[in-house]
Structure formats: C-alpha cells, structure tokens
Amino acid sequence: MTAITATMVKELRETTGAGMMDAKKALVENNGDMEASVDWLRTKGLAKAAKKAGRAAAEGLVSVATNDEGTFGVAVEINAETDFVSRNDKFQSLVDNVTSLAKAGWDSVEALADADMDGKSVRDTITDAVATIGENMALRRYESVKVSQGYVASYVHNAVSEGKGKIGVLVGLESSKPRAELETLGKQIAMHIAAANPLFLDIESVDADALERERTVLKEQAKEQGKPDDIAEKMVEGRIRKYYEETVLTEQVFVMDGETKISKLLGEDITLTGFTRMVLGEGVEVEETDFAAEVAAAVNG
C-alpha cells in the first residue's frame, strides 16, 4: 500500500479543486495513483475536469515578436523573483535582446540558451545580469509558430511595454489574402485564445489518450447516475462534443460575438497552422508553508 503524503494530497487538491478529505480518500482508494485519483473524484462529482493549467507563481515577463515578413513568431519567458523587476528597464532590455535573437529560430529553449549574444551565451548573459539587477533570473521557455504564406499574429494581454507582459499569444494564419486583412483577423483570434485558453488546434490534434480518458470518466459518471447503456452512450457523445467546444480552438465560439464558431470565422481560404498561449509562471509552484501544515494535519488526522 502506497503511503499517502501531505504533498500528494496538496497536489491533488490543487489539480482538482476537491476538498482535502476527499482528495485524501481518492488517493487511498487508488493506492496513490494521481491520475486515477483525479478520475475517481470526477466520477464522484467531486472535481472539475482536470486541465492542469498550472499556477502563475513565478514572476518576470513573457515576450512575443514576429519577423519583418510576419511569417514567423516567437514567444519567450524569462523569470525573475519579483513582479517589481518586470518594470526594470535593464530587465526589459534583456528580454527584448533575447527575444530578438530568438527570431533566428531555434530547435529548443536549450539551444536558445546556448546561442551567442555579443560574445557570450544567452545563459551566461542572463547570469551576469543577476548581479546588475539584483534578482535570480532564468530563461524558462521558448516556442515558435510559422507559416509558409500568410501571417503570424501576436498579442500580449495587459502588456507592461511593447510585446511584453504576463500572457503572450501567437497564432498562424496560412492564406494568400492581403496582410492587412490577416493582421486584423489574427489579432482578434489571438485575443480569443488569451481569453478562452484552448488546449488543441483542431479535433484531429486532440490527444488520443486524453480523449479516451475523458470518455471513460464520462461513461463512469453516466453509470453512477444509473443510466441504461444506450442512454449513457448518447450522453457521453453529447459531452464529448461539449469537451471539443471547450478545449479545441476551431470548435470554440468566438468570444467577441458569442455566436460564431472559430472555424466559420476563418472561412475556406484561411487555415490555422498553429498557436501558442504562454502564461507567465505557468506550472511553477511556490511553497505555501501554512497550507502544507494544514494538509499534513488532515492526512495525519
């Protein structure tokens, strides 16, 4: 039997929003298996659908930029210890320089960190800046979106300066339409992505394992309600459609008018090639001593 720790209960509670005792019971029932415990809580109606949207706990800036042709865009996250540093001119200049270098295109964030910037690697340049700015800093993420013909739109929500803020979005529109038209539409879709937080581009790109897991949970929920198999199957299919509408960009309803599906907004001569939505500090946890003590008391009690 796996020992259920305070850390495990804390993680499950943060992932699902379930109460502490429910989280503990789920872990006990599932021998400490985190994913099985999430599904158990959802089946019992004790948790929301798990989207694992991490907590924005780290500080710093997310930066987005595109090349002059508008066919390639990058998003970069550089973390610091406090929100105050995000308004520091030296830190913003550092972020700008790294983002500009990122536009050359790199295979990974590690490759970008190793890239030369004025005779030093990006990693070493950031390390040197720690002494000047007075806070620990790190290059955390790099992502890109490109099109062969068309436009990559960018958007920063609540920007602190040009192209920099806490939520950065890129979206690629493949099309032969005029750039001005694509810029307008791309900006609107990027703003939609910032607000609606889609997880997948289209139905074909939905993770098969995630979909099967969702279907299994929905079937168990229907059984818990005592529905016959044929009714349960119809309920599951209806809920899968709802799942698509909530998580798939092309299936979502455009937030700016509340009625048009994104796929209809594009028309027949514009194709979405990809998108990225980068949230500052997403997935980084901050130690919460008091809360951990509270959970420990519940586990030991």
**How would you write the chain as a 3-class SS string?**
CCCCCHHHHHHHHHHHCCCHHHHHHHHHHCCCCHHHHHHHHHHCCCCCCCCCCCCCCCEEEEEEEECCCCCEEEEEEEEECCHHHHHCHHHHHHHHHHHHHHCCCCCCHHHHHHCEECCEEHHHHHHHHHHHHCCCCEEEEEEEEECCCEEEEEEEECCCECCEECEEEEEEEECCCCHHHHHHHHHHHHHHHHHHCCCECCHHHCCHHHHHHHHHHHHHHHHHCCCCHHHHHHHHHHHHHHHHHHHEHHHCECCCCCCCEHHHHHCCCCEEEEEEEEECCCCCCCCCHHHHHHHHHHHHC
pLDDT higher for 40 or 301?
40
Any domain includes 226:
no
Instruction: Flag whether pLDDT at 79 surpasses 70.
Output: yes
Q: Note the pLDDT tens digit of each residue in 91-117.
A: 999 999 999 999 999 999 999 999 999
Minimum mean pLDDT range among 63-72, 126-135, 238-247: 126-135
Indicate whether 133 pLDDT > 90: no
Token pair in block for residue 45: 């109606």
- pLDDT (average), residues 20-25: 87
Give per-residue pLDDT as tens, 27-47.
999 999 998 898 888 787 776
Note the pLDDT of residue 221: 87
Residue 246 falls inside a structural domain: no
Residue 236 lies in a domain: no
Backbone angles phi, psi at 221, to 5 degrees: -65, -40
pLDDT, tens digit, for every residue of 195-231? 999 999 999 999 899 889 888 888 888 888 888 888 8
Q: What confidence score (pLDDT) does residue 39 get?
A: 86
Q: Is the pLDDT of residue 53 over 90?
A: no
* Mean per-residue pLDDT, 68-77: 97
Structural domain of residue 30, as residue ranges?
A: 1-54+285-301
pLDDT recorded at residue 289: 44
Mean pLDDT of the chain: 88
Contacts of 181 (CB under 8 A, 6+ apart): none
- Number of domains comprising the chain: 2
Looking at residue 51, what is its pLDDT?
43
pLDDT at 66: 97
Specify if 113 maps to a domain. Answer: yes
Q: Tell me, what's the pLDDT at 191?
A: 97
Residue 28: CATH number of its domain: 1.10.8.10
What pLDDT, on the 0 to 100 scale, is given for residue 230? 85
Bridge partners, 139 (sequence order): 78
pLDDT of the residue at 176: 96
> Based on the domain organization, do 176 and 76 belong to the same domain?
yes
Instruction: Quote the pLDDT of residue 54.
Output: 37
- Per-residue pLDDT at 143: 98
Residues 31 and 162 occupy one common structural domain = no
Q: Decide which of 1 and 146 is more confident.
A: 146
Domain identity same for 195 and 136: yes
User: Do 2 and 47 belong together in one domain?
Assistant: yes
Question: What tokens does 181 get?
Answer: 């038209």
CATH number, position 270: 3.30.479.20
pLDDT at 298: 53
In a domain? residue 192? yes
CA distance 263 to 195: 17
Q: How far is CA 92 from the centre of its chain?
A: 23
